[in-house]
Amino acid sequence: DSGVTQTPKHLITATGQRVTLRCSPRSGDLSVYWYQQSLDQGLQFLIQYYNGEERAKGNILERFSAQQFPDLHSELNLSSLELGDSALYFCASARGVSYNEQFFGPGTRLTVL
């Protein structure tokens, strides 16, 4: 158990819909990262927040957005969902802002029908 929690574990929805994925980092960790894992694209970095501020951006679509709240939990919002958004979404947390090992949550499996 990494100490990172993600909800929900599974999500099934339809194209065009909007969903919110939630992540709680390990106690004391200030950085939260979001990743998307699919068979064809592998593990792709989406976005990082550090202590409430956006820190780094990766291959995140404009239809996706994220935020980190004062209690340090984070939410990833996916809108106008397409079939190709079906994937495993992981969040990870780390102690500091850079160069640290990351602790991954169990993931949310999103299926878009």
Decide whether 75 or 79 has the Cβ nearer to another protein.
Answer: 75
Residue 61 burial (CB count, 10 A): 14
Tally the residues of the chain.
113
Q: Of 15 and 104, which CB lies nearer to another protein in the complex structure?
A: 104
* Residue 104 binds another protein, judged by CB under 8 A: yes
Give one word for 57, left, alpha or beta, with left for phi > 0 and alpha for psi -120 to 50: beta
Per CB under 8 A, the list member of 13, 22, 26, 55 interacting with another protein is 55
Binding to another protein by residue 25, rule CB under 8 A? Answer: no
Q: Is 42 in the site for another protein (CB under 8 A)?
A: yes
Question: What secondary structure does DSSP assign to 21-56, as a single string?
Answer: EEEEPPTT--EEEEEEEETTTEEEEEEEEETTEEEE
In the list 51, 80, 100, 111, the residue contacting another protein (rule: CB under 8 A) is 100
| Residue 10 identity | H
Counting contacts by CB under 8 A, is residue 10 touching another protein? no
CA atoms within 13 A on the CB side of 42: 2
Contact residues for another protein (CB under 8 A)? 2, 4, 31, 33, 35, 42-43, 45, 48, 50, 55-56, 58, 88, 90, 92, 94, 96-107, 109
